[in-house]
A = this chain, B = another copy of it.
Amino acid sequence: MRLAELSKRSGVSTATIKYYLRERLLPQGERITATQAEYGEEHLRRLRLVRALIQVGRMPVATAREVLEAAEDESLSQNSRMGTAIWALPHGAEPDQDDPQAARAREQVDTLLERMGWAYCQELGDTSPAYRTLTAAIASLARLGYPHDTEHLLLQARLAAELAVADLDLVEAYDTPAERIEAAVALTVLYEPVLLSLRRLAQTEESGRRFGE
């Protein structure tokens, strides 16, 4: 398809598509004349992912490019490409190395991974950004004197494991490794606000039941 059709089918203006091409967020089309290029379904798919990252996830262009490069690195296995792309997504605060609570939080995270039997995560340890974000979050809870016992974290981890099975089922429904990696990245970004808003709605409901008139 030509640029005009790519724009029409994706709902992204031609000016924005040209910007994404210049910024290398979208691979060049196949040049057919000096001024025209031909685009395929993979451009359409990539455009959806770029919009998910930039327009919905409000990601800086440089970060989005990093995520896309990781997703495309053909020297890696499917699982590594998926993992590398997701690791390149923005994460929360990093633990403060000087905080004595951070060392204790780290032990707690290790216990949690052990008890969940999350062997892949144990192997990755603190090279995983999510491991570090979790450590920082638990250290904050501890430093501010709020509850953070392992049983409560275990409950959350078990629910997260159920979610992950459903999330990966969505990903596996795509046919090719390229589509699966793109879907995994997009769904990670797009489902986080779904999860957080459902949690707040559920809290409103539970609070109404307990404390409402």
Contacts and interface: CB of A to CB of B under 8 A. Distances in A.
A51 B16 CA distance: 40
A48 interface: yes
B190 A146 contact: yes
Instruction: Output the residue of A86, A147, A211 with the most chain B CB within 10 A.
Output: A211
Interface residues of A, number: 84
Contacts of A200: 86, 129-130, 133, 188
A34 interface: no
Interface string A145-187: 1110000110111011111111110101100000000011011
A83 interface: yes
B118 A205 contact: yes
Nearest to A120: B208
Contacts of A121: 201, 204-205
A72 B157 CA distance: 33
Contacts of A3: none
Task: Report the copy number of this chain in the oligomer.
Answer: 2
B194 A145 contact: no
Nearest to A177: B211
Contacts of A207: 79, 82-83, 168, 184
A52 interface: yes
A194 to B, nearest CB: 5
Given A120-B205, A194-B134, A163 B168 contact: no
A109 to B, nearest CB: 9
